[in-house]
Structure 1
Amino acid sequence: MVYLDYAATTPITDQALLTYQQIAKDYYGNASSLHDIGGQAKDILEQARQIIAGPLHADPREIIFTNGGTESNVLAIDTLLRSSSISGKKHIISTEMEHSSLLFYLEHLNQLPGYEVTFLPGEKEGQIDINALKQAIRPNTCLISIQHVNSETGVIQPLAEIGQCIKDKGIAFHSDIVQSFGKIDVTRLLSFVDCMSMSSHKIHGPKGVGAVYFSKKLTLKPHPIKTNHEFGLRPGTVNVPAIAAFAAATSEIFTDRQAKEEHLHYIRDLFINRIEQENIPLKLINTDYQSPTIAGCFNPLVQGDYVMLEYNRRDIHLSTGTACSSNQQKIPASIQPFMADQEEGKRFNRFSFSHTTTAQEVEEFIAVSKQIFSKMKGEKKKYEQKVNG
């Protein structure tokens, strides 16, 4: 079996799973309870907060736990807008290439009275045009939300330049860093981003847990449903075992992080080079601004879902795009800057890697690819001969 869909989810590590089991069994108290058992759970919760904050160089109290990346995105935007509403500003700038969890929520806001959202397209090599961003800023712009690494193409947006554009303008800056946290360097983001969303299951932690970073420079209003959880920003009892396992996964993935990233670059380069060497008919999205974890490809023959199924029959697992939007027929905006036409857009597949991906797995993929595309070419030739009589 070769798994090449790490951008969708990752297998939980042994240490993260063991942590979950031990905390769930031995520290089952409610972290908000005042007795000793609750206090023990509270201690574990705060230790986890410190661990998640560490790689970001953040204050632990700037970390809010959620039930995953989707809630992190929605909670981030909802909290920021609620906290800035006293100024009367309701214009938001984002991109057409955001994860569906954020895109759908912003589209919903765009329908509400008073709110207006400007969606910037991807330009050359999938990045936004900084000049277009500058032109989109208005006196009533309150929030900019732009994903760090795109989940379909791996394109990295220029967050530092964006942050510089809005410096001292009183505009909050949020970024979905689900695809970059634990995979590429995120240590400098705090110098220009006010709020960030993260997810555990993208870094070999459990599903159902995530986090939001809110800069202490922000003045946040509590959740309208009065609650004493997560500094008043989120209702619901926190899932201490899952949070502890998330922290364990974070500790693991940030250990020797630079070496892990170097391995990812090696694997992605090997993947690209071997495709070219073996003349496998895949047109790769390959730019200077890309995460080493993702390689998006177009094929010249059939739709991406057919390719995915052919690989799946041979126990190689990949994607046609972001798993959360795989049931959508619309071609993702993130791949449109790279495709020749709409038909090519339908022939897209995403391959994504982990620091655990091996060169041997790449070679297995290459061998299977040669079989699959040889078969497809043969089938196409027979069809053309039949049609042409």
Structure 2
Amino acid sequence: MKNIYLDHAATTPAAEEVIEAMKPFYNEIYANPASSHFPGQKAAAALEDARESVAELIGAKKAEEIVFTAGGTEADNLALKGAAMANSEEGKHIITTAVEHHAVLKSCEYLEKHLGFEITQLGVDQEGFVNPQELKDNIRNDTILISVMAANNEIGTIQPIKELAAVARENNIIFHTDAVQIAGQLKIDVNDMNVDLLSLSAHKFNGPKGIGALFVRKGIELVPQISGGSQERKRRAGTANLTAAVGMGKAAEIVSTNLDKKITKLCSLQDYFIKELFSNFDEIKLNGPREQRLPANVNISFKNLDAESILFNLSLNNIAAAAGSACASGSLSVSHVLKEIGLKKEYAKSAVRFSLGFSNTKEEIDYVVQKLKEIIERLKSLQ
């Protein structure tokens, strides 16, 4: 059996069309988009075309609301730190959740430690959902920013962002969502969602690594986090990564065209995988909700086993999966997400995340289940 890749939540392969679209921008259309000469103007036009494609992917009305970044982590940092600093005279209270990506949590820690902001972390229920009423109850007169991820990168919980963002809007509070995981899995419409800031990363939807974007609704002020030139309408200094931006734009076009087909296939594969797991194993637990879940996410625990041992054995059988998120890979401690949902110890240390892609097949799932049966049986015999 060839290598089976079930770690698409960590990264996805760049689509062939994306690679082809990028090639001319290495040595043909290579001028700096900020230059005024003709080659520079040609490069600038390509950059703006890419910006337009990303805007269309998320339903932004204006392409200038898209700020290119070096990835989702930088987009989160710019959103949190930039908005907080720009609005600090109005208040210094930020609300987020305890299950956010570390790019959000660490940005909040920075604001708290170095700039005196107060951070409230909302808890979640056993399936990872935020309670909108709890959000309402924690809003203060000095609350200036709320950040809740659109869907969890570990357990796949899809948050009620539209409802949560409506609470923020009713109270005239800026709302940010880390939407890195939902791009390529769910339809995104920033206006329907009521969000003011939204983070994306191209390599999560078959684009290149090293490029991301932050949607910044018109009228939202940010303090730039990278100082220098006036690129990105003075919101992010540095020579534009034109080649990667073109790749992200092409990936956005592909997603926009094929999203319904992709969602249908992912949902079918996910449903089949989960049913096969529960048909073949005792003492397992699906972490996160069965409904309102990312269609690519299957996070499963095997009672009283160790995730690292399972992953090592899967790897020996050419199967790639993950324990928790890629950002926490290598850590033997239980992830902050699993702790927050109250997963019992006998299940928490054995959580394995399988994340599906459009290229995966039922035959691959059958192979994975078969190998898992052999692995789990062997590991249990060693106890």
Q: Same fold (TM over 0.5)?
A: yes
**SS of equivalent to 1:127:** coil
| 1:200-233 Cα shifts (integer Å, max 9, x gaps) | 1101111000000000132445568352100000
Match of 1:386 in 2: none
Q: 1:129 aligns with which of 131, 140, 150?
A: 131
Aligned counterparts of 2:192 and 2:242: Cα–Cα separation in 1: 26
Match of 1:377 in 2: 380
- In the alignment, is residue 67 of structure 1 matched against residue 70 of structure 2? yes
**Is the contact between residue 125 and residue 337 of structure 1 (CA under 8 Å) also seen in structure 2?**
no
Match of 1:90 in 2: 92
Query: Percent identity at matched positions?
Result: 30
**Is the contact between residue 78 and residue 224 of structure 2 (CA under 8 Å) also seen in structure 1?**
no
**Is the contact between residue 281 and residue 373 of structure 1 (CA under 8 Å) also seen in structure 2?**
no
Alignment of 1:162-201 (within 5 A): 162-187=164-189, 190-201=192-203
**SS of equivalent to 1:147:** coil
**Is the contact between residue 301 and residue 376 of structure 1 (CA under 8 Å) also seen in structure 2?**
no
**Is the contact between residue 280 and residue 370 of structure 1 (CA under 8 Å) also seen in structure 2?**
no
Q: 2:229 aligns with which of 219, 222, 227?
A: 227
**SS of equivalent to 2:206:** coil
Match of 1:322 in 2: 325
- In the alignment, is residue 345 of structure 1 matched against residue 354 of structure 2? no
**Is the contact between residue 2 and residue 316 of structure 1 (CA under 8 Å) also seen in structure 2?**
yes
Match of 1:217 in 2: 219
Match of 1:116 in 2: 118
Letter of the 2:344 counterpart: D
Aligned counterparts of 1:172 and 1:183: Cα–Cα separation in 2: 25
Q: Normalising by structure 2, what TM-score? A: 0.94
Letter of the 2:379 counterpart: M
Change (3 A) 1:327 1:100: farther
**SS of equivalent to 1:94:** strand
* Gaps in structure 2 of 5+ consecutive residues: none
Q: Normalising by structure 1, what TM-score? A: 0.93
Aligned counterparts of 1:280 and 1:292: Cα–Cα separation in 2: 23
The Cα of 1:342 is off from its aligned counterpart by 2.9
* Gaps in structure 1 of 5+ consecutive residues: 381-389
Letter of the 1:200 counterpart: A
**Is the contact between residue 122 and residue 333 of structure 1 (CA under 8 Å) also seen in structure 2?**
no
Runs of 4+ in 1 over 6 A off after TM superposition: none
Alignment of 1:1-389 (within 5 A): 1-58=3-60, 59-87=62-90, 89-187=91-189, 190-220=192-222, 225-279=227-281, 281-285=283-287, 286-336=289-339, 338-380=341-383
Aligned counterparts of 1:358 and 1:281: Cα–Cα separation in 2: 26
RMSD between aligned alpha carbons?
A: 1.7
Aligned counterparts of 2:106 and 2:80: Cα–Cα separation in 1: 12
Aligned length: 379
**Is the contact between residue 91 and residue 142 of structure 1 (CA under 8 Å) also seen in structure 2?**
yes
Letter of the 2:162 counterpart: A
Greater mean deviation of Cα atoms: 222-231 or 172-181 = 222-231
The Cα of 1:360 is off from its aligned counterpart by 1.3
The Cα of 1:71 is off from its aligned counterpart by 0.5
Greater mean deviation of Cα atoms: 78-87 or 67-76 = 78-87
Letter of the 2:34 counterpart: S
Aligned counterparts of 1:105 and 1:278: Cα–Cα separation in 2: 42
**SS of equivalent to 1:255:** helix
The Cα of 1:355 is off from its aligned counterpart by 2.0
**Is the contact between residue 153 and residue 325 of structure 2 (CA under 8 Å) also seen in structure 1?**
yes
